[in-house]
Chain A
Amino acid sequence: EAQVTQNPRYLITVTGKKLTVTCSQNMNHEYMSWYRQDPGLGLRQIYYSMNVEVTDKGDVPEGYKVSRKEKRNFPLILESPSPNQTSLYFCASSLAGEAGLYEQYFGPGTRLTVT
């Protein structure tokens, strides 16, 4: 089954404790992206990657890191989480290229709470 998986689905942590949210896709998609969803603010892009070893900032990259060492994986790293990073996070993937971006497949989401 074609899918994007995220782990963990739920996470409660404390300020400053480094964490990683994993994302994996089995569709051989070049493009992967991380979004955060907050009430009243919709979906905002954090980082995206056009291919292995190619990453770029989205609209709200501060406080986050990503890496793309393998095509299927795109982990989101919070080196020192803060309460304002409490949010619902989505990973997405799609075919790359101007003609290829017709559908992004989203993962099920990771609900992060930073106390």
Chain B
Amino acid sequence: QQQVKQSPQSLIVQKGGISIINCAYENTAFDYFPWYQQFPGKGPALLIAIRPDVSEKKEGRFTISFNKSAKQFSLHIMDSQPGDSATYFCAAKNYYSGAGSYQLTFGKGTKLSVIP
């Protein structure tokens, strides 16, 4: 129920190409879907996020597409650059109103390599 399944595990894209990373979930209580970017030797950092009432969100070259009925969301990186080479994690949040707490569940990550 709490899992977020991410694919592919690794991805190699040529410079200028489109990188696509997919995530799927089962828990319909998830209400916030962020993507985190992690460079080697660093902690993850928020890249872009979406709520389930929106089907797409774009920030620069990064776009999240969200399909609520299919319980899937994806990250598209347009015009991929070598500087985008990093590990990307999708995540999903659910809120426990009774406990007044929330939890963020992460996918297993995708290692993206953009080759010149």
Binding site for B on A (CB under 8 A): 4, 33, 35, 40-45, 48, 50, 56, 58-59, 90, 92, 98, 101-104, 106-109
Supposing A50-B100, A56-B101 touch, asked if A104 and B46 sit within 8 A by C-beta, the answer is: yes
Q: Tell me if B106 is interfacial: C-beta within 8 Å of chain A.
A: yes
Supposing A102-B49, A108-B42 touch, asked if A43 and B101 sit within 8 A by C-beta, the answer is: no
B43 close to A108 (CB less than 8 A): yes
In this complex, how many residues of chain B approach chain A with their Cβ under 8 Å: the count is 27
| CB proximity to A under 8 Å, residues B78-107 | 89, 93, 95, 97, 99-107
A50 close to B101 (CB less than 8 A): yes
B45 close to A102 (CB less than 8 A): no
Sample 25 A-B pairs with CB under 8 A, ordered by A number: A40-B9, A41-B108, A42-B6, A42-B106, A44-B106, A45-B104, A48-B101, A50-B101, A56-B99, A59-B2, A59-B105, A90-B43, A98-B95, A98-B97, A98-B102, A101-B93, A101-B102, A102-B32, A102-B49, A106-B43, A108-B42, A108-B43, A109-B41, A109-B42, A109-B43
Residues in B with CB closer than 8 Å to A45 are 103-105
Interface of B is mostly: strand
A58 close to B34 (CB less than 8 A): no
Residues in B with CB closer than 8 Å to A102 are 32, 34, 46, 49
Supposing A59-B2, A90-B44 touch, asked if A40 and B101 sit within 8 A by C-beta, the answer is: no
Residues in A with CB closer than 8 Å to B100 are 50
A58 to B89, CA, bound (A): 18
Distance (Å) between the CB of B104 and the closest chain A CB?
Answer: 7
A35 to B106, CA, bound (A): 10
| CB proximity to A under 8 Å, residues B1-48 | 2, 6, 9, 32, 34, 41-46
Residues in A with CB closer than 8 Å to B6 are 42
A9 nearest in chain B by CB position:
B41
A58 to B96, CA, bound (A): 13
Q: Which of A42, A59, A107 contacts B43 (CB 8 A)?
A: A107
Distance (Å) between the CB of A100 and the closest chain B CB?
Answer: 9
Distance (Å) between the CB of B76 and the closest chain A CB?
Answer: 20
Residues in B with CB closer than 8 Å to A35 are 106
